[in-house]
Structures are given as structure tokens and as C-alpha cells.
Amino acid sequence: MLLGSHVGMSSPEYLLGSCKEALSYQANTFMFYTGAPQNTIRTNVNQLKIKEAQQFLKEHDMHIENVIVHAPYLINLANCEDDEKYQLSLRLLTTEIERTLTIGCKYLVLHPGSALKADRNLAIHHVIEGLNQVTTKYPNITILIETMAGKGSEIGISFEEIKQMISGIKNQNSIGVCLDTCHIHDAGYDIQNIDVLLEQFDNIIGLDKLKVCHLNDSKNLCGDKKDRHANIGYGQIGFDALCAFIHHPLLQDKIFILETPWISYSLENSKVSYPPYRFEIEMLRKQQFDPNLMNHVWNYYQTK
């Protein structure tokens, strides 16, 4: 099973540091942003220690093609109101594709965007148009459209909308889906009924299009359209449903990425937080819920 988490990428070790972080969680894959997701400042790829990272992955039996890049949030190909912003989104996406391919990755996860005040159908057509432009220019990238929770005017909040976008793409090898369990739960899909859910996905989109799953619990109720991630087993989806999801026979060729929140601890006059991933990965592999996750994470990072 390919299971990992979101990891950071920062100076001085950059991608090599990301690989080491993933290994410290006992993950065999990971996802990262090639720069801050909220801005356009990007360190030159030559400085990211790509060769060293690729060597490190090989030595630890991990494969760069299984490593996922997430595109910055600023990109909104669904923007039909402001052409300047749409063009900026296309330029940002182009840069991100080039960076992803230079690093040696194949999958780039993209939020389809927000329709703002425009008609959703029109917004979806703008996304299709943009994606056709970039995938024609870069046939080796596979853009994975992420399923969204439905906050504000987000598009891609139903399997039908995702299908509509995918159907418009000329080069079908360049397009796929990233299913986020928190997002689909918040959008109103029932993850407790996994067989029904996967059948629905398969009928509408096709399970062959699903490449990556973001595995997150949710702080909110099914259908709340909120998008607030919770730790595995500590939210409204629950451990059993998420564990059944990741171990489902139809999903064994997918890549699973945790994007659960770091756990915060209040000290006397400050706060610290630590990543939960090592322990969430362990409980998902063992198929056993850990009711003391907070303590285990705390104890582990005290001795580091």
C-alpha cells in the first residue's frame, strides 16, 4: 500500500528534507508544494536538491513517480470574470507543471477553482479550456482534479461535475482525479457506505481515473460544505470508515496521502504543534485505532 502524508519543503535541504521527513513517518510516498501554496515566490528548481532526493528515494525503496505535487491555491481556472486573473492562473499552472516534470514527478493535484458569481457550467468550460491548453503543451503531466467540499462557489463538488471536466479533456492520459475523503463527506457523500460510494464513482467517472486519495477525517457533518480536516478517527467520518476505505480491494493501486492537522499542545505561555503522521500511518496499517494519539505524538517528539 502506498501511504504517506503532506510534507514540507524548505531551506536548506529542500526536496531531500521532504524525503527524510516522509521516511521519519515510515511513509513510502508523500505530497508537497514546490513553494508556498498562497504565493508565487518559487525557489529555482536547481536549488531544490533534486538529484540528492532521487538518490535518497532509491536507497529507501521509494519512487519519485509516486510522489505527488499539489498546485498552489491561487490558481483559479474557473474564473470567468477577470481575464487577467485567468491568464495569471494559466501562467502559474504552467510554471508548476514545468517544476513538477523537472523534479521527476508525474501527478499534479489541482483544485478546479471557484465559479465566483458566474454560471457553474460556464466556469467548468473555462477550466476545460485551460486544462486543454496546458496538457497539449505538456503531454507528460497528469493533472489530478481534486474533489471539493463546496465552500463558497467551489466547483468540482460532485462526481458529475468532475466527470464533466474530465470529458472535455482531449488527451485523456493527462487527466485524472484526486479524491479527498473530507471534501466528499462535506459535499454530502456517505463514506460509511463505501461499496455504494465506489460504485457510484465508477459509474460516473471510472475508478481507472482515480490516482490519488487524500485521506482526512472531517470536523463537520456530512453535507456541511465546510472543509475542515480532522485527525484520522477524531472526526465525523471515523476510523472504521477511513480504514475500510484505504484497505478496500478496489483501491489497492491508489496513492493515499494524509492531510490531517498537526496536533497542538498548550504550554505555560506558548503553544507547540507536532505532525501526527507517523502514528496515523501506523494505525491505518495495523487497522487499529489509537485512542491516545495525542500522548503518543507528544512523547515521540519529546525524545527527538
- 180 near Fe ion, rule: CB under 5 A: yes
Least separation in angstroms between CB 214 and Zn ion: 7
> What pairs with residue 257 in β-bridges?
4, 214
For the chain, give percent helix, strand, coil, nearest 5. 45, 15, 40
- Which residues ranging from 137 to 156 are in contact with Fe ion (CB under 5 A)? 146
- Closest residue to bound Zn ion by CB: 227
User: Per rule CB under 5 A, is residue 224 in the interface with Fe ion?
Assistant: no
Shortest reach from residue 185's CB to Zn ion, in Å: 11
Query: Cα angle at 285 between 198 and 33, to 5 degrees?
Result: 75
| Binding of Fe ion by 254 (CB under 5 A) | no
Shortest CA distance to 187 belongs to which of 221, 217, 164? 221
Residue 126 or 214 having the CB closest to Fe ion: 214
Kindly state the smallest distance separating residue 218's Cβ from Zn ion, in Å. 9
Backbone angle region of 26, left / alpha / beta, with phi > 0 → left and psi within -120 to 50 → alpha:
left
Smallest gap, in angstroms, from Cβ of residue 259 to Fe ion? 5
Q: Considering only CA atoms, which of 78, 21, 11 is closest in space to residue 42?
A: 11
Q: Is 214 in the site for Fe ion (CB under 5 A)?
A: yes
CB under 5 to 8 A by kind: which of Zn ion, Fe ion, none does 227 bind? Zn ion
217 binds Fe ion (CB under 5 A): no
Instruction: Yes or no: say if 108 and 71 are a contact pair by the CB < 8 Å rule.
Output: yes
Residues that bind Fe ion (CB under 5 A): 146, 180, 214
